[in-house]
Structure 1
Amino acid sequence: MKKNSLLVVLLALASTAQAQRTAFLPGQPWPDNKGTHLNAHGAGALYDQGRYYLFGEHKIAGPKGNSAQVGVHCYSSKDLYNWQDEGIAFAVAPEGSGSEVEKGCVLERPKVVFNKKTRQYVMWFHLELKGQGYAAARTAVAVSNKPTGPYKYVRSYRPGAGQWPLGYKEEWKQPAPGEASLKWWTPEWRTAVTQGLFVRRDFTPGQMARDMTIFVDDDGKAYNIHSSEENLTLHVAELTDDYQGFTGKWNTIAPAGHNEAPAICKRGGKYYLLTSGCTGWAPNAARSFVASSIWGPWQQLDNPATGPDADSTYHSQSTYLLPVAGKKDAFIFMADRWTPKNPIDGGYIWLPLRFEGDQPRLRWADRWALSAFDQPQPKAVVAP
């Protein structure tokens, strides 16, 4: 019996050792330490005291899984390849509780940052109130004393209430004649959007906030970047020192550009932003932008994806740019392959983000490792 027990243990250990990943396999099933496919969609990641923490939407099977039935799932890792299940970091409130975050609400793209002043972990996410579709367009915050949670719900916001964006022209503060009757997607309508059509509409209640990410700059200032104005314009809004509210300072990015799924990083003193177009659950070609200040102006660059399936960003949509600890200017492009009919089956595309001058570049790889960042950056292609 003892020999048989020892054999079972040895076989189990051997199996575990064989299961340890040493590379990323984009698009393939990604089992956690329990052998279950990671359940962290629209994810963000945090590096804290030698460990990475992954936070994402916990999905269930069937169309009902597109709403929040459980909450935000957390995993941890030391190497980014192998993930340990840390359970539900933020649980939705019970059905019928009347909470803004009760079961059945829409809770998307959770991002967690650490606040050095308060010593708290702060989670932000896009929130849609139960039964209201995507009409609420709010961004919400929760806090915890531990990275793995549990996170306590604080409140939700419509940012920018009663505040004009930076550099907003005085003549744009009043509606232009006939703007209410403009036909959508015409050049005149796009001009009206650029000149504040929806900013004015939402001035008092606050601006819409859907797909979002959080960025902490080198000076400790944090920013919430989100799709606003019916997903037509991205907004960047400065957070308070405790990262739990807004200072009222904000600006627009690519007005009328129809961007969502923002993901941002900083390299060489410049800010790089990757987004997607707005085509529902269907993938599309990614966009990229660069700026010398987070407040802009932002210059639009090319589609960062290259090669086959670049026009669909390899059948995925951006969610986060993860800095790799200990490697200078090394960022992982994190993206989702959505499966709305059965959300729990959604897959993950993680690829190394490289740069050709100011242009971020993505290239498909069936298999890759962090050693890819040890290779020199590709040279910028100079047009003749």
Structure 2
Amino acid sequence: MTLKIFYLLSSLLLLLSPAFGQEPNAHGGGVLFFKGRYYWYGEIKSGETKKVPNSNWENYRVNAGGVSCYSSSNLKDWKFESIALKANQSDDKNDLHISKVIERPKVIYNKKTGKFVMWMHIDSQDYSFARSGVAESDSPIGPFTYIRSIRPNGNMARDMTVFVDDDGKAYHFYSSEENATMHIALLSDDYLSHTTHEKRILIDQSREAPAIIKHNNKYYLFTSGCTGWSPNAANYAVADSIMGNWTSFGNPCIGPDSDKTYYGQSTFILKVEGNRNKYYFLADKWNKLDLAKSGHLWLPLSFNKQGVPTVTNKMEVSPTLIK
């Protein structure tokens, strides 16, 4: 058995180690709806959790496992499709090497090119690399071909998300300036690079884990504070246009443990297809001492007549793994 085959089989065993009926192994990711199915992409967290030596914060990590892909027609039952983007086992200078950081993968579809584009946070163990990686595929389930990592317009880039507006333009939201300030950059027409059209928002507010949704022609950006693996209060900001002025309004969560986002951290806002006002606030429940046992929160997100969002700690959907 070659090393390559052994690695592939080992990766699949680790990925599918939870019994059917448990949660998919997809963390820090997002969901794409395409031709009647939802595709969920996320970080593969498996293996032993270790603290990075000489870190001045709780820098716990597992070996980078790549990006998983699951699909569903109903948001409850999820089928494993593939390791959409594989980690690299042998070249420690490769962005996707298991010693590196591969976080916050998001996939968008480009109608002009017919390609699926994945953006992600690429970093070194000490988080000094601070770059954005991009990959491309002809299929929603991959395999994705990794292209490169960059610092958008020369800026540090860590936690991130991407968003396609109604006009087909795509935007990259990312934490920059040592996580002090959020940046928004307009992507090129093929979604594979950045234009110079960029804006700084939430200046000196130290926000990460961005998740965005458009509702009634307004843009809502949900973020977390920067406290490592430890939970904190969510925040939302609103704008009339993506490159316009953003105003912060506070915590959208209500009820017990709302100041800790119910022990979760935002990753994506999911719009339910066919239901104009149905949204879910997706979050990760990190287990910093055993990251492979981290869980998910899929919580209802609603808007009142004034456009004020509310996140409620009620699991209407519990995503489970099926055969």
User: How far off its partner does 1:369 sit?
Assistant: 5.4
The answer as to 2:80 corresponding to 1:85 is: yes
2:174 aligned counterpart, secondary structure:
strand
As a proportion of its length, which structure holds more helix?
Answer: 1
* Count of residues in Structure 1 that have an aligned counterpart in Structure 2: 293
CA distance in 2, matches of 1:32, 1:221: 38
User: How far off its partner does 1:38 sit?
Assistant: 1.1
The answer as to 2:183 corresponding to 1:235 is: yes
CA distance in 2, matches of 1:329, 1:221: 22
CA 1:33–1:149: 2 relative to 1, 3 Å? farther
CA 1:67–1:118: 2 relative to 1, 3 Å? farther
The answer as to 2:286 corresponding to 1:300 is: no
Q: What's the CA shift string for 1:33-85, capped at 9, x where partnerless?
A: 83453100101100000000000000113214824432001100000001001
1:149 aligned counterpart, secondary structure:
coil
- Match of 2:137, as an amino acid? S
CA distance in 2, matches of 1:87, 1:343: 21
Question: What residue is the counterpart of 1:256 in the other structure?
Answer: 204
CA distance in 2, matches of 1:213, 1:369: 22
CA distance in 2, matches of 1:58, 1:341: 16
Structure 2 residue corresponding to 1:359, chosen from 289, 308, 314: 308
2:292 aligned counterpart, secondary structure:
helix
The answer as to 2:30 corresponding to 1:44 is: yes
CA distance in 2, matches of 1:70, 1:354: 34
Structure 2 residue corresponding to 1:265, chosen from 213, 219, 233: 213
CA distance in 2, matches of 1:49, 1:304: 32
CA 1:218–1:76: 2 relative to 1, 3 Å? same
Quick check: 1:276–1:287 contact (8 Å CA) kept in 2?
A: yes
The answer as to 2:56 corresponding to 1:108 is: no
CA distance in 1, matches of 2:138, 2:64: 24
Question: What residue is the counterpart of 2:91 in the other structure?
Answer: 96
Quick check: 1:90–1:151 contact (8 Å CA) kept in 2?
A: yes
Question: What residue is the counterpart of 1:9 in the other structure?
Answer: none
TM-score of the superposed pair, with normalisation by structure 1: 0.73
- Match of 2:284, as an amino acid? D
- Match of 1:47, as an amino acid? F
- Match of 1:88, as an amino acid? I
Question: What residue is the counterpart of 1:159 in the other structure?
Answer: 152
1:123 aligned counterpart, secondary structure:
strand
User: How far off its partner does 1:302 sit?
Assistant: 2.3
TM-score of the superposed pair, with normalisation by structure 2: 0.87
Quick check: 1:261–1:318 contact (8 Å CA) kept in 2?
A: yes
Q: What's the CA shift string for 1:125-163, capped at 9, x where partnerless?
A: 00003xx51001101100010100110001111012xxx
CA distance in 1, matches of 2:280, 2:189: 27
CA 1:270–1:335: 2 relative to 1, 3 Å? same
Structure 1 residue corresponding to 2:127, chosen from 95, 117, 134: 134
- Match of 1:141, as an amino acid? V
- Match of 1:362, as an amino acid? V
2:93 aligned counterpart, secondary structure:
coil
CA distance in 2, matches of 1:358, 1:252: 24
Instruction: Output the aligned Cα RMSD.
Output: 1.9
Q: What's the CA shift string for 1:211-258, capped at 9, x where partnerless?
A: 000000000000010100100000000100000000111001110011
Identity of aligned residues (%): 47
1:83 aligned counterpart, secondary structure:
strand
Q: Is there any run of 5+ residues in structure 2 with no aligned partner, and where?
A: 1-16, 51-59, 319-323
Quick check: 2:47–2:63 contact (8 Å CA) kept in 1?
A: no
Q: Is there any run of 5+ residues in structure 1 with no aligned partner, and where?
A: 1-30, 161-205, 371-384
The residue correspondences of 1:309-320 to structure 2 (distance < 5 A) are 309-320=257-268
- Rg (Cα) greater in structure: 1
CA distance in 1, matches of 2:84, 2:292: 18
Larger deviation, residues 96-105 vs 221-230:
96-105
Quick check: 1:95–1:104 contact (8 Å CA) kept in 2?
A: no
